[in-house]
Amino acid sequence: MSADGAAARLVRVTEVAPRDGLQNESTRVPTATKVEFIDRLAAAGFPEIEATSFVSAAWVPQLGDAADVMRAIGRPPGTTFSALVPNERGLDAALEARVDKIAVFAAATEGFSRANTNGSIDAVLARFASLIPRARAAGLPVRGYISCVIRCPIDGPVEPRAVRRVAERLLELGVDEIDLGDTIGAASSDDIERLYEGLAGVVAPGASTLHLHDTQGRAIACAERALAIGVRSFDASAGGLGGCPYAQGAPGNVATEALLGSIERAGFTTGIDRGAVERAGQWIRQELARLSSASV
């Protein structure tokens, strides 16, 4: 196959379990366990791992050790280590910790915006106005998440035009990538297609990342439809860990192991060692079970 042909068959998978997976764990996970988990995932060959969040520890206590995690992990050169940043204070800490990339996060609905980030959609976007240029001036690419692109746990169904408006604003503010979050795993594959139709001219499938949760068991079908319409970048979580503490009913991100299988079956490659991901997923599940039985 030509180099162009191989590139056309390449799908990017970002591993988000250390952030989206662990943020929802009620049992405190030791920093050393997080570090070993991330190191195992990096060894599987992910192009990007979302390692942690520089958010308020009052809001997400589990990730209060973000700086310690970043300091202790190995940093193999092929992997980008990114982290969530909600405000200037988070950016200061992320820069200090030498993250490779940041992710800001907004929502398509007012209810989720207030529940997750204590501000209206516009107020949260305004926080990014100086933060994004600062990150970019420091050489960091910026991912822009939009949560609740299909349905909100507070406000209900979401129209694609609400997502479109937030995407336009994030792009104006200078994000490098739009990441569309089906926060509570409500999407059907038809919803995914309708979402991208509604984003036409603003976010092309091939220029976006899709972040699926698997509440209804439909995430793999959604990913297959997304692949068919041109999406080439997905987030996933080893062991299917995940959820959002401010979105009841967001129990698990799409499992990386399953997503890699479906991408490979569709004839695409990722460069990621699926066996190594399976072992990392089994290992963290066992660690979490051990920690939770020790805490009762």
Residues that bind ligand HMG (CB under 6 A): 20, 23, 53-60, 84, 86-87, 89-90, 93, 105, 116-118, 145, 147, 181, 183, 211, 213, 244, 246
CB atoms within 10 A of CB 5: 8
Binding-site ranges for Mg ion (CB under 5 A): 20
Long-range contacts for 111-119 (Cβ within 8 Å, ≥24 apart)? 111/152, 111/153, 111/154, 111/155, 112/147, 112/148, 112/152, 112/153, 112/154, 112/155, 112/183, 112/246, 112/247, 115/154, 115/246, 115/247, 116/147, 116/244, 116/246, 116/247, 117/86
Say which of 148, 152, 222, 244 is annotated catalytic: 244
Q: How far is the CB of 52 from Mg ion (least distance, A)?
A: 14
**How would you class 275 by CB atoms within 10 Å of its CB: exposed for 0-12, middle for 13-18, buried for 19 or more?**
exposed
Select the residue whose beta carbon is closest to Mg ion and give its number: 20
Q: At what angle are helices 160-173 and 189-198 packed, to 10 degrees?
A: 50
Distance, in Å, from the CA atom of 119 to the CA atom of 59, rounded to the nearest integer, reads: 14
* Residue with smaller CB distance to ligand HMG, 14 or 296: 14
| Minimal distance, residue 267 CB to Mg ion, in Å | 27
Give the residue with the Cβ less far from Mg ion, 56 or 95: 56
Residue nearest to ligand HMG (CB): 181
Q: How many CB atoms lie within 10 A of CB 281?
A: 24
Q: Which does 105 bind (CB under 5 to 8 A by kind): ligand HMG, Mg ion, none?
A: ligand HMG
Which of ligand HMG, Mg ion, none lies near 14, with the C-beta cut-off 5 to 8 A by kind? none
**Active site annotation includes 244:** yes
Smallest gap, in angstroms, from Cβ of residue 279 to ligand HMG? Answer: 24
Closest to Mg ion by CB, 20 or 177: 20
- What is the closest distance, in whole angstroms, from the C-beta atom of residue 81 to Mg ion in the complex? 18
**Residue numbers annotated as active site:** 244
